[in-house]
Chain A
Amino acid sequence: MADRQKEILVFNTTQRFVHWLHTAAFAVLMITGAMLYIPWFGNSIAQGAGGYAIRLIHRIGAVAFMLVPVIYVVETPKEWLASMKRVFTWNKDDLGWLKAAPAYYFLGDEEAMPPQDKFNTGQKLFYLTVVICMVGFIVTGLIMWFGKGTVPAWMFQWSVFLHDLCTIAYAAFFLVHFVLSVMHPLMKGAINGMLFGWMPEEYVKHHHARYYQKLRADKSE
């Protein structure tokens, strides 16, 4: 395709599907969860039959949420493994990124920015939070769903507590992810990768230089 010559496929269909399924499930879970947890947010709606509905929707959202890693692993195991490797690979450039990030994201000063892989340090931090919280959500959520009365009370209490800590970390990081991917002037192009799979070559070269070099090297081999 001629118009795709200057573009690079960064996310395949499965990756994009699980990303948006995850997003949808997250939105449902966040809203229904907040209605149950935060008094001013939905106390009156969470009462009686309204509460039944909220809790049922939360469970439907939870099933979708749990399907995400399953679909990802089953459909595209190689890409999943590659992503996991990226998320858990950290080096001194990550420290450099963290130091350079404020000047970059506020003022656009990219002088001190070290070259980044497919995921930059911030994206890796978010991905890592998502992975850790996902495990946390699923384990504690299943205990709360199926273990009430059968697991010891202390385990249930720890579960609700950790479930909420995960929510807080997740919600805060989600805001960062959302603003940077949709609203930040320097990040235009990132969203295309997740919507359509393709990113402008220039964008990849500029924002993910190390990844771009790898792609070039793979091609020439």
Chain B
Amino acid sequence: MDSNKRATVDRRDFLKLTGVGLGGLFLQPSGQAFASAPNEEDAAILYDVSKCTGCRVCEEACKEYNSLPIETTPPSDLSAIKWNLIKQRQGVDAADWPFFYYQCMHCTDAACVMVCPTEALHKDAEGFVAFDQKKCNGCGYCTQFCPFGVPHLGDVNLITGQAKAAKCTFCQEKVRAGTGGPSCAEACPTGALTWGRRGTLLEEAKARVADLKAEGYKEARLYGESEAGGLHRLSILLDEPRAYGLPADPQGPISFSFIWQKVIQPLGGIAVGATALGLMIDWLVARTQIKVEEA
């Protein structure tokens, strides 16, 4: 080996390497990186719209278990104190008004988790999107980035911004303790809502969709297998997603939350880091190269 060559480090290469190294400092550890696919053993909820009678027992069970205040006028949308809701919508057949059950979809690629600056919103080991309200600082990014419009802020102080977000937690305390499942699914009297292992539920749902098709529901389909990386709230629909107000592609062509958090953030770090490095080199070179005559 040519020892002269080995000792030489091209200045440009040195700068490049240092830049990459410094940039790396700004890249966050990938602890928050999402698994490419949800696990079969994850916990999940399955909603079968064809079995729902709109009795709202699920809503009561949620209010009760989560100690949410009872509302005197029926809410028309989810809120900080309304984590699940059955809404009636006009179906394919104009005379048909099917119910649909809304709650957190517990995405695998959850935009709310990605934009949450406090880790109040986080992925549970069982795959659903858990929430630790103590950590929430009320920034409300989750309310603006969720493609399903699920998280909501409670009372907001417009001057200070103080608020707390809230959403369906999959009844995380019970599920983690192994003492039960989501209250809504446990309470459902018609079997429209069930919960269990995601892999099992997917199999059941696919069989059910095949049956529904055989019964003449041509548009019957499963929603949530791959949407937003795979949902942990799966749905059996009798029509296109938009008939239920669901986005066909929840993440859209570009995921703004991803670009904002996973692209711009490290790139910004690299840009600022590279600038700092350049300045440091300038300072080191300039102070030896430039002789200033003191007046």
Q: Which residues of A contact B (CB under 8 A)?
A: 36-40, 43, 46-48, 50-52, 54-56, 59, 105-108, 145-146, 148-149, 153, 156-157, 160-161, 164-165, 167-168, 171-173, 175-176, 179, 183-186, 188, 200, 202
A55 to chain B: which residues have CB within 8 Å? 137-139, 160-162
Q: Is B143 an interface residue (CB 8 A)?
A: yes
A46 to chain B: which residues have CB within 8 Å? 117-118, 137
A63 to B86, CA, bound (A): 43
For residue A106, give the distance in angstroms from its CB to the closest CB of chain B. 5
Q: Is the CB of A179 within 8 A of B161?
A: no
A106 to B149, CA, bound (A): 53
Size bracket of the B interface: 35 or more
Q: Is B11 an interface residue (CB 8 A)?
A: no
- B153's partner among A48, A149, A179 (CB-CB below 8 A) is A149
A156 to B158, CA, bound (A): 16
Report the nearest B residue to A157, measured CB to CB: B256
Instruction: Give the interface segment out of B1-9, B40-48, B188-196, B270-278.
Output: B270-278
Q: Is the CB of A106 within 8 A of B271?
A: no
A153 to B111, CA, bound (A): 13
A-B pairs with beta carbons under 8 Å apart, 7 shown: A51-B138, A105-B282, A148-B140, A157-B145, A168-B272, A176-B279, A188-B292
A148 to chain B: which residues have CB within 8 Å? 140, 143-144, 153, 156
A161 to B160, CA, bound (A): 22
**CB 8 Å contact bits of B251-295 with A (1 = contact, 0 = none):** 000001101100011011101100110010011011101111001
Q: Which residues of B contact A (CB under 8 A)?
A: 28-29, 32, 117-120, 134-141, 143-145, 149, 153, 156, 158-162, 256-257, 259-260, 264-265, 267-269, 271-272, 275-276, 279, 282-283, 285-287, 289-292, 295
Q: Is the CB of B118 within 8 A of A106?
A: no
For residue A5, give the distance in angstroms from its CB to the closest CB of chain B. 15
Q: Is the CB of B141 within 8 A of A52?
A: no
For residue B7, give the distance in angstroms from its CB to the closest CB of chain A. 24
A200 to chain B: which residues have CB within 8 Å? 295
Q: Is the CB of B119 within 8 A of A47?
A: yes
Q: A48-B136, A188-B292 are in contact. Are A168 and B268 (CB under 8 A)?
A: yes
Q: Is the CB of A172 within 8 A of B272?
A: yes
B287 to chain A: which residues have CB within 8 Å? 185
A105 to B289, CA, bound (A): 10
A107 to B259, CA, bound (A): 39
Q: Is the CB of A48 within 8 A of B282?
A: no
B295 to chain A: which residues have CB within 8 Å? 200, 202
Q: Is the CB of B138 within 8 A of A52?
A: yes
B134 to chain A: which residues have CB within 8 Å? 47-48
B144 to chain A: which residues have CB within 8 Å? 148-149, 153, 156-157, 160
A185 to chain B: which residues have CB within 8 Å? 286-287, 290, 292
For residue B165, give the distance in angstroms from its CB to the closest CB of chain A. 11
